[in-house]
Chains A and B, each alone.
Chain A
Amino acid sequence: MLSRPHLRIAAFSTAVIASVAFSGSALAQKKYDTGATDTEIKIGNIMPYSGPASAYGVIGKTEEAYFKMVNDNGGIKGRKINFISYDDGYSPPKAVEQVRKLVESDEVLVVFNPLGTPSNTAIQKYLNSKKVPQLFVATGATKWNDPKNFPWTIGWQPSYQSEARIYAKYLLKEKPDGKVAILYQNDDFGKDYLKGLKDGLGAKASMIIAEESYETTEPTIDNHIVKLKSTGADVFLNIATPKFAAQAIKKVHEVDWKPLHIVTNVSASVGGVMKPAGLEASQGVLSAAYAKDGADPQWSSDADFKKWIAFVDKYMPGADKNDGSIVFGYGVAQTLVKTLEMCGDDLTRANVMKQAASLKDFTPDTLLPGVKINTSATDFAPISQLQMMRFKGEKWDLFGDIISGDLSN
């Protein structure tokens, strides 16, 4: 294989090569790993700014804006956050390349909130072998809570399984004699929910009388709904991504089936699911939430949420407040800042990981009142509480207590 040397040199010159020593220097009390100094903390991130999942790119932009706000207010104990975010286009090979660039070339302290189950799976082994924290990943898969095998990887949002267990708890309480019919998407997302539900129902898993799976390639899922209705079930679990969830809500209404109907948090968007399905068809549908809704007027007088509104107005002018990604990005960025504050002057990778696993009753501004972030050396699932909600009129009404998705409670 042959090449033009000068072309290669030109290409390499774009890669920034920093010269920071690898081991932490032994200054009095202050301890640093690569990526942290007296004046700066380098945070790495990968996001799909392009490609099929580029809608999530807003999360990265929100985080960047949040850290700008933190820096404007003096940084973390005088240290400014240097947020380096690269595009992985939702492609696992690109994710590996970009993360290696962050760790080996930019020399970041941690890789924070990388998005997507495939991308995170691709980089997990590498980051764990390099002992670089893979902090607060942006995916709902359950496998991130595995401190024994992957002590450098920690999740953030509630896992699909914990959410499903909350529905199971609700059903056991409200409809212990119910006959449950389930429609689920035939992939890791659908199967995670199914497992969570069965675990949650435990001995009463026999309540499930029908399971139907669908492929995302199917144009419509109408026939599944008709089939599920014919089983005589009076509870319907709609484990589908937004497009199919909307189709299901509509069809259930059309065939005049009136079960207790639950949709997942993934498909609880008013604009993306409930309105397209038809507001009339959506009345009374149940779901669960852990964060406040930017479009819901009830939070506009909430003291904590006012901070979020002020942040969006000042640092992201013109952004769409209905976009759940801004609420998400703000909450997770605030969790990182809290973790770094807890680290004090010991900014080593091991200590960052230790502090991330020592969050006690932490409440970012954007989480529902009562939902708290708790982690420990054996619990790497920061958020595991949600609150049930019912669709009424044109919005979700929260009801009942905050429920934990942990199996033990």
Chain B
Amino acid sequence: MAIESVVLDDQKTLKIVVEGNFDFNLHKEFRDAYSVLKEPITKCVIDMAGTDYMDSSALGMLLILRDHAESVGAVVVLSNCKEDIKGILSVANFDDMFEME
């Protein structure tokens, strides 16, 4: 599985781990992963420590997630991004749109 998701013990954080190439092929898996995002979860952390590459459709998926998160009152945080991924995010200026940690 390129994507794994888990709700942390505090019941407030959904953590989604994306491994390898984050692209259109992960569309369904990614959508399934955040389908549990609703109250009382207030934070969705995308752990990209193992993400090697992302394309524009992955950026699109993040936007859709962000939309969904807003509608349930949660924030999306991108964490542990590698330099390459940071580069891709910054070209699209997504680093302004998402909280990074």
State whether these chains interact: no
Interface of A toward B, CB cutoff 8 Å: none
